[in-house]
Amino acid sequence: MGDSIVIRSAEPADAERISELMGSSGVFEQLLQMPDVPVASRIETLRVTDAQICRLVALDGDRVVAHAGLHKTQNSIRRQHVRGLGIAIASSHQGQGLGRALMERLLRWADGWGAVLRIELTVNADNERAIALYSRLGFMHEGRHLAYALRNGQYVDAIAMARMHPCPPMLPAW
Ligand SMILES: CC(C)(COP(=O)(O)OP(=O)(O)OC[C@H]1O[C@@H](n2cnc3c(N)ncnc32)[C@H](O)[C@@H]1OP(=O)(O)O)[C@@H](O)C(=O)NCCC(=O)NCCS
């Protein structure tokens, strides 16, 4: 990953540049994004502050070249220990270690600060690079969803993956 890359929290002012990234070719196809999502909906999402989620961007100069985050999957009190993970790197910056750097930063947040026990995600079954990255960072395959999503007129399978906290915090001995 180049020295010029800055990783920081995502802000509402980043909405337009994040939308541009998420809709770009080489990224969009592997996400559950719809084409032409209005920027307004992303501004709304980014305006909501929630200490239980983590949203990051990576900047190369003024350009947002990556977006990654951990979000709550449901409001159920019984799933407060769970976060979903999403990540997208601009095609110009893929394969240079940025995905790994962002994932490691999210995992540090989850393990050290966020009281997260389980992180879950789904990934298109043909997304070899993403599956390799997740596997190296301790995510396990949990199963295969058949015809999980429509992609450019075809149904594609997805792999469910999850990672448990490697060393969950314990109460100290009093
Ligand atoms: C998938 C994605 C997040 C990976 O991030 P990245 O910055 O490109 O990947 P990295 O350079 O950090 O490499 C990650 C690992 O995968 C390995 N890798 C790279 N290309 C690979 C390939 N084609 N097949 C298998 N492994 C590959 C690397 O060797 C690296 O492992 P290492 O750190 O142990 O050496 C990124 O390419 C991306 O955003 N793609 C488009 C959107 C997407 O697929 N999002 C995920 C949806 S679930």
Domains in the chain, ordered, with CATH?
5-120 (3.40.630.30)
The CA dihedral of 168, 127, 18, 11, to the nearest 10 degrees, is 0
Residue whose Cα lies nearest atom 26 of ligand 1: it is 129
Q: What is the pLDDT of residue 74?
A: 86
- Alpha-carbon distance of 107 to 137, in angstroms, equals 9
Q: What is the pLDDT of residue 37?
A: 79
Which tokens hold the place of 113?
């600060």
List, for residues 53-96, the tens digit of each pLDDT value. 999 999 999 999 999 999 999 889 999 999 999 999 999 999 99
Q: Ligand 1 pocket: which residues have CB below 6 Å?
A: 27, 30-31, 87-89, 94-100, 121, 123, 127-130, 132-133, 136
Q: How far apart are CA 146 and CA 157, in angstroms?
A: 5
| CB within 8 Å of 31: residues ≥ 6 apart | 22, 86, 88
Q: Which atom of ligand 1 is closest in space to residue 90's alpha carbon?
A: 39
> What pLDDT sits at residue 2?
77
Q: Which of 30-44, 46-60, 95-109, 119-133 comes out lowest in average pLDDT?
A: 30-44
**pTM, rounded to two decimals:** 0.95
Which pLDDT tens digit goes with each residue over 100-120? 999 999 999 999 999 999 999
Cβ contact 116:70 at 8 Å: yes
